[in-house]
Structure 1
């Protein structure tokens, strides 16, 4: 049940009901606890060093471990199940422990599942869908939402690559800051009957050859 719950985003109790009664629960539109474990590991000061780089964590036993992190996110899905899914997606890897117990490391700057996976397609649909919804909201004259871009052309390949590196650094800093604040606010809003809002904050960088008429 834990594995099925992690993959689907459906609560484990609903998975049990589905298996018992043959009924489907409402499928979550996100990757649930798997993505939350990744996000907290990548941004929470408890799991990062001074400069904000995610720490290498002991799998279990240490005061700050993957098991402790996973349980802080969900007590309904076993830490082993969450770890197996993160390893399968390719965003966490096991590192040489040198006889000091199993250690784990984030191996991606962003939650980007393996190429061609169902999870990658789901993220694409979610991100593009909300981007389009933002554009439509602004076109319809509702309260404006942030939707901006910068364009430059007549650049060399080296200059485009340098701007790409800068964009990734800006994203890394923005990701950590908004995740820290988002985690804090999410915790403070738990149990609030008026907490019915969701947000998505993203960034993209594209480079390509100029199309000449």
Structure 2
């Protein structure tokens, strides 16, 4: 199929979406040739898994026809992808469980805000970092978790040996591999929601944004602070509700589903060619 027969609006959107990803790749030395081979693998894998007829595995020829990837490359790349590569690393999922526990009694205040926790159970008892880790797993020593979280910038240790959660969600401030895992997870799920809504198949997922283009830097900072504060409160509220529902669902034999709820903020200089009149 020639590009001239494809929706111009879709190609324009894809070009725009790819710009920040290409920027990241260039910064990290991922060349076009490396990415092109990676993209071939993704095309082949998606065609193989999601474009089957009567639930039958497609032939190499059909995948080649669907994707435009040469049949010899289809044969080489087929069944080489690792499904586990799309899941978050174990240390991140374990960390998310700990953060969730930290926003529940007895490790939080009445508003659900994580409290500073004495590092040792001998000092803080059931409201200590030792107790928090033990609540989630008895197989991992609290000191090991603390050292790793200090490395990632997730927590800080004060002079009284109390552990403070630096971010109210498990978002590493350091550690490229951990942040890259979140990049893949969050962008993937956001893109899935947007693609689903564009396909008009079934009820739409909630996916909304607010955008302005004529704000001063001072106003942008005011909004940044509001999103960081009020947005985090909303996410903590959703987190508590999800935890309650998951606990309630434990006895159920129904098929399980995963969810992602996200919130983001971004700013950059406005296009000088755009109108700057205030919005009504």
- TM-score > 0.5 by shorter chain: yes
User: Over alpha carbons, which structure has the higher Rg?
Assistant: 2
Counterpart CA distance in 1 for 2:159 and 2:221 is 33
Aligned partner of residue 108 in structure 1, secondary structure: coil
Alignment partner, residue 76 of structure 1:
139
Count, aligned residues: 185
Q: CA deviation at 1:83?
A: 2.3
Alignment check: 8 A CA contact 2:98 2:133 kept: yes
1:191 to 1:66, Cα distance in 2 relative to 1, 3 A: farther
Does 1:120 find its partner at 2:179? Answer: yes
Counterpart CA distance in 1 for 2:126 and 2:264 is 36
1:63 to 1:45, Cα distance in 2 relative to 1, 3 A: closer
Q: 1:180-199 to 2 correspondence within 5 Å?
A: 180-199=240-259
Counterpart CA distance in 1 for 2:250 and 2:141 is 22
Alignment partner, residue 12 of structure 1:
none
Q: Could you say what the CA RMSD is over the residues aligned between the two structures, in angstroms? A: 2.3
1:116 to 1:85, Cα distance in 2 relative to 1, 3 A: closer
Unaligned stretches of 5+ residues in structure 1: 1-23
Aligned partner of residue 106 in structure 2, secondary structure: helix
Aligned partner of residue 238 in structure 2, secondary structure: helix
1:176 to 1:86, Cα distance in 2 relative to 1, 3 A: same
Does 1:29 find its partner at 2:90? Answer: no
| TM-score, scaled to structure 1 | 0.78
Alignment partner, residue 214 of structure 2:
154
Counterpart CA distance in 1 for 2:251 and 2:138 is 17
Moved more, 32-41 or 75-84: 75-84
Alignment check: 8 A CA contact 2:152 2:174 kept: no
Moved more, 195-204 or 58-67: 58-67
Alignment partner, residue 90 of structure 1:
153
Q: Deviations over 1:126-156 (max 9, x none)?
A: 0000000001111111220000001112111
Counterpart CA distance in 2 for 1:182 and 1:85 is 27
1:28 to 1:93, Cα distance in 2 relative to 1, 3 A: farther
Q: CA deviation at 1:39?
A: 2.9
1:185 to 1:74, Cα distance in 2 relative to 1, 3 A: farther
Alignment partner, residue 99 of structure 2:
38
Larger helix share, 1 or 2 = 2
| TM-score, scaled to structure 2 | 0.60
Alignment partner, residue 56 of structure 1:
116
